[in-house]
Chains A and B, each alone.
Chain A
Amino acid sequence: MNALLLSAVMGVVMMFSSFLLKMKVAQRNVAIGGMLAILLVNVLEGWWGVHFFSFNTKGLLYFDHFSLFFTTIVFGCTFLFFLLSAKDMENVGVSYAEYFALVFFILCGISLVSSFRSLLLLFLGIEIISIPLYILTGSDKRNLKGNEASLKYFLMGAFSTGLMLMGITLLYGASGTFHTVGMLTEPGKEQPLAMAGLMLLMFSMSFKVSAAPFHFWTPDVYDGAPTVFTSFMATIVKAAGFMAFIRLFYDAFYLVQSWWQLIAAVMVALTLLIGNITAVFQQSVKRMLAYSSIAQAGFMMIAVMALNESAFEGLMLYAAAYCMATIGLFAVLVKMKDQSFEGFNGLAKEQPVLAAACAVFLMSLAGIPLTAGFLAKFYMLKAAVETGRYLWLVILAVLMAAVSVYYYFRVIQAMYFKEGTGLLIGFASPAYKWILSILAVLIILLGIFPNLLLNWFYF
């Protein structure tokens, strides 16, 4: 509850600071300070039960341990994102402080969407996340690609929200309530109304997390948006989307798994296939990362399909590993002069620290042991095997993981084995290098001792 309210307050604070504080540095510091405060109050609520505000939500919101833990991970990653990329946001456009305000509002939506117990609040949370995102996508007003991306995102997003509302209505008709916990309980009885509502909800949530075959907006939107905001969208918003997804399906549809599990498995397979195979053919690193985020979403969706204990632990570890690695990668990408694969040539000689950190991030995304990404994928595979049913999916997933090695390692090859001058726009400050190195070390630490993260889940 703390973070929910504080993030909304911070959004308003940033809006005011856009004209009250003249210096961009001051605005940035207020934003970073506010982010740290949000993170702290969330941790305080999660582990020490300190509520700064609380009011009776009449059962519509419930901040259980899972939701607070997950939002802590998400807020931690946002804090890292601010530390690394806040300065680069200045280059996007004139309304610097407003961008921070929009991000804070998105965080408010994330907080809602991680703790909902009513379908209405799910809808509200998703909309609160999406609308600022439409604005952020088009925030570079002079860029035609950005305008196109923003409009595309808005239209398709509105359409999918319409689908979600339809699904919610049908489910209300079938069950008589908006309350998600234990909404559908009888798998035996055929309920076309409930099934239709469930499917519509699944499709609209899949749109939000860019699972196939609802992923078509992702490459254009991620490519057209300013790289800093792509970084935010591809990681934190996606993780929040999965939080909502797994929360919804576990609370409401766990007992009727037999209705939708096969469809979910097929969607996972499609996502993995499409995401990985198209990523192989990309020539721009930014677009490659967009498609790779689809592929990673495929892996995360395995958790939604499986809905067992490994799935929950795995999703948290995966969200943490994926967010950290991708934020780090985008933080380097945004500083590159040439954003194609050739632009990375010879980076290892020019900027050894950046190249080494990038290598760790890429290996984590590919799933090489010793990195958090490997253990995250491992948990996902474990969750899938434990369902006892979808072995073909497990084998497909590992084959696709092998495919993903190809396009992730292309960047490593360009950095280390090819000759060139990896030029940066501007320069990489020592603080920036330190944070990247800490991020890389964290990923390796989590890769050897995932207990560091997972024990807090059981705390």
Chain B
Amino acid sequence: MIAVLLIWIPVISGLACFFLPKGNAARLFALFSSVVILLVSVLGLTVFNDPVYLQKKYEWLPVLGSTFFVKLDGIGQVLTLLTAVAFPIIFVSTWNHEYKNASRFFALMLLTQAGLMGVFVAMDALLFYFFWELALIPAYFLCSIWGGERRIPVTFKFFIYTFIGSLLMLVAIIYIYNGTSVKSFDISAFYSVVFSSNTQGWLFWLFFVAFAIKMPVFPFHTWQPDTYEQSPTAVTMVLSGLMVKMGLYGLIRWLLPVVPVGVNNWAVSVSFLAVIGIVYASLIALKQNDLKRLVAYSSIAHMGLMVLAVFSNKEAGMQGAVMQMFNHGINIIGLWIVVELIEQQFGTRKMSELGGIAQKAPALAILFVVVALANIALPLTNGFVGEFLMFNGIFTSGAYDGMYTLFGRWQFNTSSLSLIFTVLAGVGIILSAVYMLNAIQKVLYGDTVQRTAMTTDIKGNEKMILGVIVCIILFLGVYPQPLLDLPKEAIESVLKEADISHLLKK
């Protein structure tokens, strides 16, 4: 019931929002709807935390073997909670932004939320694919209508790139469906199907390319910085805070348990891509002058670390990744709010044109610094908990061991790959400290320039929203246990499905 409500409330309110008159009614209605969804999500966590309420199965396409099967387990609850929390924050933080045709804007945002919720709760492969695409369409319209100057070609590239990935995933889904014994798209049927190692290999890649384009993972990341820069800030918050989690969630739910042998074979290659992405994106972030692009590249680096942790095949790594999905969502939204505030007040996002804001805007400075430190994963912030767990998983992982043959000639015994990956990822963290502190230094401290001479501090509701985010950061940094307990059972079952140690020769 809860899962069904989480999808249907945003759909209905989104469609209704199209018909609202212009003006503030749409804004209020969207905020109200997102708060209702937050309530439903919290109820699902507390009062109605019972499988009876959390799942629902409807008949949909019996001729195809597909049902409308939605279920909230631990991992799903973390992510739907993130989505439910993020949308009110996004709406309140962009409250004063004027949009033309505001009712359509908020309607599309609510429909995006519906698509996101659907992805996180779908337990039927065809339904999962439906929602995966459906989250994309409103985002396409949002970016193309309300975006920046180069929005049309940039969004088009984003759409087609993501669409190609999704279609490749569709081929894999159909192939696996064809291999199930009862011809069903149900997730349990997908978990129980068995393919040969070679088949699993290219099924792995078909799925992984789709998820890699979404997250994005190097080298499929070229659409991301432009799209984040050109889209309106509220949409960027949705894209970077929530949509990238779709990719990582897909890895955990639909890749690891379904093609475990393929994962085992290709884990090292993918981990290399992830590590290269971390270092590469961090290095590029160092050179950025535009705050939005800096945050975009920083996001690629963070997602790279999470991919690395997911493929570590260790419970600590997975727990860290799932928790970090929530943390990264909150932190990055906080960062985007700060960027938006700076852009609104000073009309520029270039760090070279800013400086000395902290003198006149201490509240903004404090809150910005805390969010940035959370991004760097300083202890006492939520980012630290996630990263520590992830590093633990990567360092102690046995997934990278084995004999590897490069180009058919050179043989490697890779017992020390986990060390190499940990070190390189650590370099990424250090670099993130460099570019974040550099950004803070340039923007907040130093001498004021002409543009920032008449700074005013942030207002009440902006302070409140950033305050809420900072509170979450500090609370989870000190007491993360509830968020770790929530997905524990689900993670254990995923790891069990992905476990192929009984197949490997001793």
Residues of A within 8 A of B (CB): 313, 363, 368-370, 378, 381-382, 385-386, 391, 394-395, 398-399, 401-402, 405-406, 409, 413, 416-418, 449-451, 454-455
Contact = CB atoms under 8 A, between A and B. Distances in A.
Contact of A385 (B134, B141, B168, B174): B174
A382 B167 contact: no
Contacts of A381: 170-171, 174
B132 to A, nearest CB: 8
A271 B170 CA distance: 21
Given A401-B167, A405-B159, A417-B144, A369 B178 contact: no
B160 A402 contact: yes
11 contacts: A369-B130, A378-B174, A381-B171, A382-B174, A391-B175, A398-B171, A401-B167, A413-B152, A416-B144, A418-B152, A450-B63
A374 to B, nearest CB: 8
Contact of B133 (A368, A385, A409, A454): A368
The CB with the most chain A CB atoms within 10 A, among B63, B141, B164, is that of B63
B134 A399 contact: no
Given A401-B167, A417-B145, A386 B160 contact: no
B403 interface: no
B134 A369 contact: yes
6 tightest A-B contacts by CB?
A398-B167, A402-B164, A369-B133, A369-B130, A385-B174, A417-B144
B170 A386 contact: no
A417 B140 CA distance: 11
A136 to B, nearest CB: 37
Interface string B141-169: 10011000001100010011001100110
B8 to A, nearest CB: 14
Contacts of A382: 174, 177-178
B185 to A, nearest CB: 11
B52 interface: no
B171 A394 contact: yes
Contacts of A416: 141, 144-145
Contacts of B178: 382, 385-386
A402 B171 CA distance: 13
B48 interface: no
B144 A395 contact: no
A329 B62 CA distance: 32
Nearest to B153: A413
Contacts of B159: 405, 409
By size class, the interface of chain B is: 20 to 34
Given A368-B133, A398-B171, A451 B156 contact: no
A57 B458 CA distance: 86
Given A368-B137, A386-B178, A402-B163, A413 B144 contact: yes
A290 to B, nearest CB: 22
Contacts of B144: 413, 416-417
Interface string B173-205: 011011000000000000000000000000000
A369 B129 contact: yes
Nearest to A359: B141
B262 to A, nearest CB: 16
Q: Which of B159, B170, B177 has the most CB of A within 10 A?
A: B170
B40 to A, nearest CB: 24
A382 B170 CA distance: 10
A342 to B, nearest CB: 14
A394 to B, nearest CB: 5
B61 interface: yes
Nearest to A457: B63
Contacts of B152: 413, 417-418
A391 B175 CA distance: 9
A402 B130 contact: no
B163 A405 contact: yes
B170 A450 contact: no
A455 B63 CA distance: 9
B57 to A, nearest CB: 17
Contacts of B129: 369
A326 B350 CA distance: 48
A392 to B, nearest CB: 11
A409 B177 CA distance: 30
A405 B167 CA distance: 12
A406 B160 contact: yes
Contacts of B133: 368-370
Contacts of A418: 152
B63 A451 contact: yes
Nearest to A366: B163
Contact of A405 (B61, B130, B160, B175): B160
Given A368-B137, A395-B171, 11 more contacts: A313-B63, A368-B133, A369-B130, A369-B134, A370-B130, A381-B170, A385-B174, A395-B168, A402-B167, A449-B61, A454-B63
A395 B177 CA distance: 16
Contacts of B170: 378, 381, 398
A395 B63 CA distance: 24
A323 to B, nearest CB: 21
B7 to A, nearest CB: 14
Contacts of A398: 164, 167-168, 170-171
A405 to B, nearest CB: 6
Nearest to A402: B164
A400 to B, nearest CB: 10
B130 A413 contact: no
Contact of B156 (A394, A401, A409, A455): A409
Contacts of A401: 167
B361 to A, nearest CB: 36
Nearest to B167: A398
Contact of B167 (A370, A399, A450): A399
B164 A399 contact: yes
Contacts of B177: 382
A413 B178 CA distance: 37
Nearest to A383: B174
A405 B158 CA distance: 12
B444 to A, nearest CB: 37
Contacts of A449: 61
Contacts of B175: 385, 391, 394
Nearest to B141: A416
A386 B64 CA distance: 13
Contacts of B145: 416-417
A306 to B, nearest CB: 12
A173 B200 CA distance: 49
Nearest to B165: A402
A455 B61 CA distance: 11
A398 B63 CA distance: 23
Contacts of A454: 63
A137 to B, nearest CB: 35
A248 to B, nearest CB: 26
A382 B137 CA distance: 24
Interface in B444-468: none
B97 to A, nearest CB: 20
Interface in B478-500: none
Contact of B134 (A370, A391, A402): A370
B117 to A, nearest CB: 16
Contacts of B62: 451
Contacts of B164: 398-399, 402
Nearest to B170: A398
A51 to B, nearest CB: 30
Given A417-B145, A450-B61, A394 B168 contact: no
A86 B430 CA distance: 70
Interface in B62-101: 62-63
A161 to B, nearest CB: 38
Contacts of B168: 395, 398
Nearest to B133: A369
A394 B170 CA distance: 10
Interface in B21-49: none
A368 B159 CA distance: 12
